[in-house]
Amino acid sequence: MINLYNTLIASLSIHRVGNKSRNEGMFLSAQPYKLDDEITPLLKEFFLKPFRDKEENYFQFEHEADLEFHPLFHLVSDIFDNPNVVHEHSKKITQHLFDQSTHPHIKSGEVYVAYLENLQLDNEKVDAVGIFKSELKQDFLQFSEGENQLDAILQQGVNLNKLDKGALIFNSKKDEGYKILSVDSNRYDARYWLESFLAVDAFEDENFFTKKYLKFCQDFAKDVVLPAEDKKEEVMFLNRAVNHFAKNDQFEETQFVNEVFANPDLIPEFKHYKTEKAPKYSIEDLTTFPIANTAVSAARKKIKNTINLDTNIQIKMDFINPESAEKFVEKGWDEERQMYYYLVYFNKEQKS
């Protein structure tokens, strides 16, 4: 988990980068930007707010030969070793971004390279290098007073409520390619920032494994449990799976299978499905790993617990008290109507 509220911007360099294919150049500032008490909190919120609001999906630098040949890994490592070189290296970072700006859809914009201190990652205080880019400009009115007239002047500027692109490279897990968070609010050039510029791959930690395994369970429920059983059992299987993750710190697949499957006949299907689909989820040999609570909470929010019927009726299952669905909801078939039905037992109706 990260905590960014006490982050300090130790230094900031601002440059401008254009689109290389349109023969737009770069503008590299000679000196670091001089921060003051008025603009610093605004820039800090501009840079960091998207990361506080985003699910923590970490990346790491990746190179097919060796990380030492990764341009950003090399530059960032130098900065962490000696923060005094951050401004000169910010120019090289901007040059690298410019070299990737060859697609006609890529927009020109300002590049901000910041050295950040006092961040908390996994309950440890770390430094980070922040690389941010603003692209889209918005119109705004500026007013000036004449002798007897108020004049409106149309100008363009950056909206401080929306960062277009950003990356936080934490000084953590260097040997694995550092832990990195990325945001990109524009989808017209998605590969440019994450793949071409940052050149990263998913960081395979407990958050990654928890998320991938729960997504695997979700697809298994849809592809196997639902056709073999019914919608109620699909929902209940997912509920048991998420609850198993929520109450354990360590995942053990054997324990998971014994606890989660109400129908033992589906266990061979589960093992076969994993063998067949595992590469898609990067869980081929995954049978034990630490569980990330944040990933479990995020997965629970995405899982639908509602049975939608073609008679315009919905039955919402309670994930907090799953035993209620097991005890008080029954499915049957009505021969006279030639229709399925759900029988729901209760003592009294609850007030809304």
pLDDT at 169 (0 to 100): 97
Looking at the fold, whether 234 and 248 belong to one and the same domain comes out as yes
Query: What is the predicted pLDDT for the residue at 256?
Result: 94
**In whole angstroms, how far apart are CA 103 and each of 21, 93, 97, 106, 194?**
7, 18, 12, 6, 14
Q: Closest Cα partner for 326 from 315, 316, 317?
A: 317
- Looking at residue 220, what is its pLDDT? 93
Whole-structure pTM value: 0.77
Residues 41 and 96 grouped into a single domain: yes
Q: What is the pLDDT of residue 50?
A: 93
Q: Please tell me the distance from the alpha carbon of residue 317 to that of residue 314, in angstroms, as a whole number.
A: 10
Residue 53 has what pLDDT?
A: 76
Number of folded domains in the chain?
2
Within-domain flag for 349? no
Per-residue tokens: 83? 């923060």
Residues of the chain with pLDDT under 70: 188, 190, 318-325, 352
Question: Domain check: are 221 and 102 in the same one?
Answer: no
Q: Domain ends where: 203, 222, 245?
A: 203
| Residue-level pLDDT at 303 | 73
My answer on whether 283 and 270 are in the same domain is yes
103 in any annotated domain: yes
